[in-house]
Amino acid sequence: MLNVPPQAFPGPSSQQRAAAGGRGKVPLKPGRSLMDWIRLTKSGKDLTGLKGRLMEVTEDELAKHNKKEDCWICIRGFVYNVTPYMEYHPGGEDELMKAAGTDGTDLFDQVHRWVNYESMLKECLVGRMSAKPIAAPKEISTLSEEKKQLNGMVPEKKAQAASAKDLIPSYDWFQTDSLITIVIYTKQKGMNAELVIADCQDKRLRGEIIMDDHSYLVEVDLDHPVQEDMAVNIAEKVGKVEITLKKKDNIHWKMLGQPLESHNTFKKCTDRGLFYRKCKLVSKTEVTHDTKLFCLMLPKSTHLHVPKGRHVYLKQIIAGTEIVKPYTPVLPFLPLNFKEPSHHEGACIYLMIKIYSCGLFTQALDHLQIGDYISVSNPEGNFKKTQIQTSEDVFLLAAGTGFTPMVKLLDFALSEVSCLRTLKLIFFNKTEDDILWRNQLEELALKDKRFEVQFILSQPTKDWLGKQGKISSSLLSEFVKRSKKDSKVLICICGPTPFTEQGVQYLKDLGYSQEEIHAFTA
């Protein structure tokens, strides 16, 4: 069993109480932590008030339960009595009450669709909606209608379909004695490795193509077993993606396999559930007294490159409940040698994680042994590479582990943004010992004249000669300055929620526009 601290947490003064996952606003009362909730759900108490019965819920019935002391919410067609959960909700009762007596699916998806509510709220399940589920996932297109068997032929009907559909990808497949190749025609130029996510687990193949905020999915239960290896080739100019698998037995396949539920669909990314694969912990190295660099190896049959500025979710079962938390992949080290191609992230994902002494998830993470496995999701987030590509002055405001998204941005800006004139990292920490990769940052600043780093401590010792304080308007006006009157600026900010919110406000007060600021949040 994983080590779960017995005391109530987050601690009363902890920032995490006020902002679980970087979102919530309301401090939780003592004894109302996630772990306390898990304990309550395991206590055998009747949390729905229905004595174990499940019922069909009409819209009228749902609407009646719209008070704090009697609150039902529908998520994806299932109704939960969230009354007992009110005080445990990190976002506060008011947030939960916004969906009281109604379908909260959209609200839930906007705020934290990554939270495994099925597991968290399983003891609160009242039943299903009797009418068809409200706000069922909006499918833009299900292309797999008449495909009982995947023979790779695009039905004629589809070839004649409306022009919008002509932009939707299609797929085909072919085989040699030893290989199976699935070809996806994305009909879009500029495909790259970050836009293709492919996994083959046992006989299940899942190939996803990301196209702006939409995704095309090939998902098949293969006809025959394949080997663990997978190769992905991308013809960028013609937008063709090839996923090649090695047959286990050199026999002729009559078909590719059986289509799975989401096969051959084109949907908004937010309408797809998170997909996880198990990754092996291959190393765990100390970065500071409380922060470690975890190296997770992807399976050989996974193709996944986490784009800069995006995070993944890690999932662990803690005390019998699935817990999910977001983390932002970094590089194994800073870009101290620009001559090397930036290929750092191949088969491994590096995560720099602060271990909190009372942290539910990070304590369990810290107890993972080399060789253990942990589930890692597909990437999420809304940072777009184009935001930084044309910037002349880039400012990175990071607090604590809010440094993590800045690592790949630093690398990208210095190695690939040709118009870059200045890159400044303003790094807020409590003490000197908390500064992540201080030596590397200082070395980088010596190496590249465009890069400058400024450390600002909120709890320095007497010996600290550098800047002190927390984020403020005066600190920002001192450090964030355009190198030319009209230079194109990007300011990225990440850290504890109050830090990020205050920072954004100060920057706006200083005259920076919304487009010039990117705040990293959940």
From the list ligand FAD, ligand NAD, none, which binds 191 (C-beta under 5 to 8 Å, kind-based)?
A: none
The footprint of ligand FAD on residues 11-30 (CB under 6 A) is 11, 14-16, 20-22
Pairing verdict, β 348-354 and 329-330:
antiparallel
The footprint of ligand FAD on residues 439-498 (CB under 6 A) is 496
Which residue bears the tokens 């005259």? 511
From the list ligand FAD, ligand NAD, none, which binds 495 (C-beta under 5 to 8 Å, kind-based)?
A: ligand NAD
From the list ligand NAD, ligand FAD, none, which binds 10 (C-beta under 5 to 8 Å, kind-based)?
A: ligand FAD
429 binds ligand FAD (CB under 6 A): no
Q: Give the contacts of 489 (CB within 8 A, at least 6 positions apart).
A: 391, 392, 393, 394, 395, 482, 512, 516
Question: Hey, which residues does 297 pair with through a beta bridge?
Answer: 280, 348
* 141, amino acid identity: S
* 457, amino acid identity: L
Task: Tell me how far, at minimum, the Cβ of 411 lies from ligand FAD, in Å.
Answer: 16
* The only residue of 401, 422, 429, 502 in contact with ligand FAD, by rule CB under 6 A: 401
Of residues 321 and 362, the one with the C-beta less far from ligand FAD: 362
Of residues 283 and 431, the one with the C-beta less far from ligand NAD: 431
The footprint of ligand FAD on residues 492-521 (CB under 6 A) is 496
Which whole-number Å values give the CA distances from 400 to 163, 353, 406, 461, in the listed order?
49, 10, 11, 17
State the DSSP code for 44.
Answer: T
From the list ligand FAD, ligand NAD, none, which binds 378 (C-beta under 5 to 8 Å, kind-based)?
A: none
Q: Which region among 7-15, 105-113, 455-463, 508-516 touches ligand FAD (by CB under 6 A)?
A: 7-15
Where along the sequence are the contacts to ligand NAD (CB under 6 A)? 15, 22, 311, 328, 354, 399-402, 404-405, 428-430, 434, 458, 470-471, 494-496, 498-499, 502, 520-522
From the list ligand FAD, ligand NAD, none, which binds 499 (C-beta under 5 to 8 Å, kind-based)?
A: ligand NAD
Phi/psi at 180 (5° precision) = -120, 130
Cα 408–Cα 413–Cα 417 angle in degrees, nearest 5 = 140
Left, alpha or beta for 469 (phi > 0: left; psi -120 to 50: alpha)?
left
From the list ligand FAD, ligand NAD, none, which binds 428 (C-beta under 5 to 8 Å, kind-based)?
A: ligand NAD
The footprint of ligand FAD on residues 193-222 (CB under 6 A) is none
* Cα gap 223→226, rounded to integer Å: 9
Of residues 21 and 503, the one with the C-beta less far from ligand FAD: 21
Residues that bind ligand FAD (rule: CB under 6 A) add up to a total of: 28
* The only residue of 356, 412, 428, 506 in contact with ligand FAD, by rule CB under 6 A: 356
* Cα gap 77→471, rounded to integer Å: 44
* Cα gap 396→388, rounded to integer Å: 11
Question: Coil, strand or helix: which one is 351?
Answer: strand
* 206, amino acid identity: R
* Cα gap 324→309, rounded to integer Å: 19
378 binds ligand FAD (CB under 6 A): no
- What is the binding site for ligand FAD (CB under 6 A)? 9-11, 14-16, 20-22, 311, 325-328, 351-354, 356, 358-362, 401, 404, 496, 522
